[in-house]
Structure 1
Amino acid sequence: MNPEPTLTYVYAVVATTRELGALLADLRGVADAPVTLLTPDAQEGAGPAALAFVTSQVPDADWREQALKARFEDLDWLEVTARSHHHVIQALADHTTVLPLRMATLYQDGDRALAALREQHRTFADRLALLAHHTEYGVKAYIRPETDTAAADESPAPATTPAPAAGPGKAYLRARKAQHHAREDRYRQAAQAAERIAATAARHATHVVRHPTQTGPLTRGEAGENVLNDAYLVPEDEAETFRAAIRLAGEDLPGIRVEITGPWAPYSFAMPPPPPPSEPADEPGARS
């Protein structure tokens, strides 16, 4: 009975070390598959700079392009797979420098994957050198939720000098206009505060990625509205100084909540996966 055809799933690029074998021995990845190192032949990649792909074998039938299109619409499957992918990346990041690749980076087989590793060796090595002894942190800023929505429907507080009497329609329009101007001022102040926090964070980081702010009803609520969503590559010996500086910068910003996340594997500073070398279009290659 022939074994079920498989594809090679690649999680990340790492520099090979003796410790990696022990680390991966009990690690399981997507589809609960064992995780292994895929390395070039000794004569091709000998020495301390030798690189390897961290891989699993996954069933061809479940991971081919047409099957993935349907699976990526299954939110439960997507969440489980993303968590499994991240689990492998984070396990590596806890012990070595790792260059994460996108979820569902696939090759037809190990030979195709190794060909891509050889083609991109210099690029991968340079990127790993950039990431060595650095960690990713996220910095987010939110406008704190207000209770002034209900207050906006109330009559404005009376002025010291009574205003000329106005009909209900004019009074309502005047209150709405005042609310609109107050909201504009609040957003302007929030944008200035966000830039102040970003400038502070950047002084302690080597690289910055400005992610789009998170929008939509699912991103609001108790957290407030997101006005800053950045990632910073921070030297490991600067991490405490980085966090302290951001906390200090956010202390005297009324109406703004600052959130620091991490340390993370450097997802924001990784690269897109390389195209598969000379591979037919109908076969799976590196893709996300």
Structure 2
Amino acid sequence: MSAKPSILIVGAGAIGSFYGAILKRAGCAVSVVMRSEYDAVVANGIQINSELGELSYRPDHVYRDGDTPESAPDYLILCVKVLPGVDRAAMIRPWMGDNTRIVLIENGLDIERELADAFPANPVTSCLAFIAASRVAPGVVDHKAYGRLVMGSFPSGIDSETRALADLFIEGGIKIDLTEEVVGERWRKCLWNTPFNPLSVLANGADTATILDTEGGADLIRELIREVMAVAAADGYPMDENLIEKNIAGTRKMPPYKNSMALDYLNDRPIELDAVIGNVVAIAQKHKVSVPHLNTVLVTLRMRERLKQAESA
């Protein structure tokens, strides 16, 4: 692998575009596969408004789904939503080479195995993004806060290629935490995603300030986090009770933020229901852990989805 490896972003929405910009600033060749907004990105590049400075860039190549790649990348970074019926292995297969490293920057729990099984010869690096960023127009991203990545090799450990990619992200200007136990870190990320994302949809796309400042809102978030922690402990990943208040305090420090699930709901796009909360409830059932608040949120959202499907039929 060269000193400055080639990067391909599959799913260049707000998250993929931002981390592509960081790697571009580190001197990498960064290309993107666009499912939409192709014309805007070809014409104007990717525009990113950020307090980190000038991050806007023109990708080295802009591909459509179905294009033939000029060469396989060193790192393929997958940033698409983890949705039922979306075959992520089929999505990336045309772009994979013998030595391509798969990198996931995606939400959810138990999302790596599908790709590790489909490409057993290609190692997987799993990343958790702690970021507030939104796509506000075709090819335009507002980066509101944070950007840290927690990274590790899947299913565990930290290999040399994961370290090399981490160094590139650091060179590009963001904080990286490497972990030997990335699955445990996914559980830690669930402490925020699993309560805030689904609840924002039930509250009609509410932002973080509305959720926390409504009477009873912060207490409901606390109960949801406690239930996630109980499931994580039963699955072998116990966590400190202090993380409940740390998550709430950290959320209060950021500007009012509509998370990705809220934006998907408001824009009539599918939501990552199973990846973010459904898998947590399924693991709770496996371990016989009672999660009444999480189950209520999940079942209510499934009712909403069923009604929406009936209306569109």
- Report the TM-score when normalising by structure 1: 0.27
Higher strand content, 1 or 2: 1
- Report the TM-score when normalising by structure 2: 0.25
